[in-house]
Amino acid sequence: MGGSPAGAGTTGTGSMPVQCGKIFCDSGVCCNAVCGICGTPDGACPEIGCAAPAQDACAALPAAPVVLGCAQELGIEVDPSAPAPVAVPLADVSAEEPRARPGGCLEPLLDLQTAGPALFAQAVSWTVTTGDRSWDVEAVVEGNKLPSLLGQKVSVSYAYEFGGFGPSHRQLSVVTKLSPSYGIWIAEGGDLPELGELPLLLSQGDAVCSTAGQCGSYSRYGIGATDPLSMRLVTVAHGQTGRLGPWVIVHGGFEEQTSTSSPCSDWFVADVHLAILGLM
Tens of pLDDT, residue by residue over 114-152, are: 999 999 999 999 999 999 999 999 999 999 999 999 999
Same-domain pairing of 43 and 76:
no
Q: What is the reported pLDDT for 28?
A: 80
Does any domain span residue 130? yes
Question: DSSP strand E in 194-258: where?
Answer: 201-212, 217-226, 233-236, 241-244, 247-257
Q: What is the reported pLDDT for 140?
A: 98
Same-domain pairing of 40 and 176:
no
Same-domain pairing of 128 and 11:
no
Query: Is the predicted pLDDT of residue 13 greater than 70, yes or no?
Result: no
Same-domain pairing of 95 and 40:
no
- Residue 3: pLDDT band by 50, 70, 90 thresholds? very low
Does any domain span residue 121? yes
Does any domain span residue 240? yes
Residue range 169-192: mean pLDDT, rounded: 97
Q: Check: CB of residue 167 under 8 Å from CB of residue 149.
A: no
Highest mean pLDDT pick, 7-11, 59-63, 164-168, 171-175: 171-175
CA–CA dist 274, 201 (Å, integer)? 12
Same-domain pairing of 42 and 78:
no
Same-domain pairing of 38 and 163:
no
- Own/partner long-range contacts of 261-267 (Cβ < 8 Å, ≥24 apart): 261/216, 262/215, 262/216, 263/214, 263/215, 264/214, 264/215, 264/216, 266/165, 267/215, 267/216
- Own/partner long-range contacts of 102-111 (Cβ < 8 Å, ≥24 apart): 104/72, 104/136, 104/138, 105/70, 105/71, 105/72, 105/78, 105/80, 105/136, 105/138, 106/68, 106/69, 106/70, 106/138, 106/139, 106/140, 108/80, 109/68, 109/70, 110/68, 110/140
Does any domain span residue 186? yes
Provide the domain limits for residue 270. 67-279
Does any domain span residue 58? no
- Residue 15: pLDDT band by 50, 70, 90 thresholds? low
Q: Check: CB of residue 250 under 8 Å from CB of residue 169.
A: no
Q: What is the reported pLDDT for 82?
A: 85
Does any domain span residue 60? no
Same-domain pairing of 14 and 112:
no
- Residue 8: pLDDT band by 50, 70, 90 thresholds? very low
Q: What is the reported pLDDT for 51?
A: 65
Tens of pLDDT, residue by residue over 18-75, are: 888 778 888 788 888 778 888 888 888 888 777 655 557 888 899 999 999 999 999 9
Q: What is the reported pLDDT for 5?
A: 39
- Residue 214: pLDDT band by 50, 70, 90 thresholds? confident
- Number of separate domains in the chain: 2
Q: What is the reported pLDDT for 27?
A: 74
Same-domain pairing of 152 and 201:
yes
Same-domain pairing of 220 and 152:
yes
Kind and range of the H or E element at 91? Answer: strand 86-97
Q: What is the reported pLDDT for 242?
A: 97
Q: Check: CB of residue 218 under 8 Å from CB of residue 258.
A: yes
Query: Is the predicted pLDDT of residue 4 greater than 60, yes or no?
Result: no
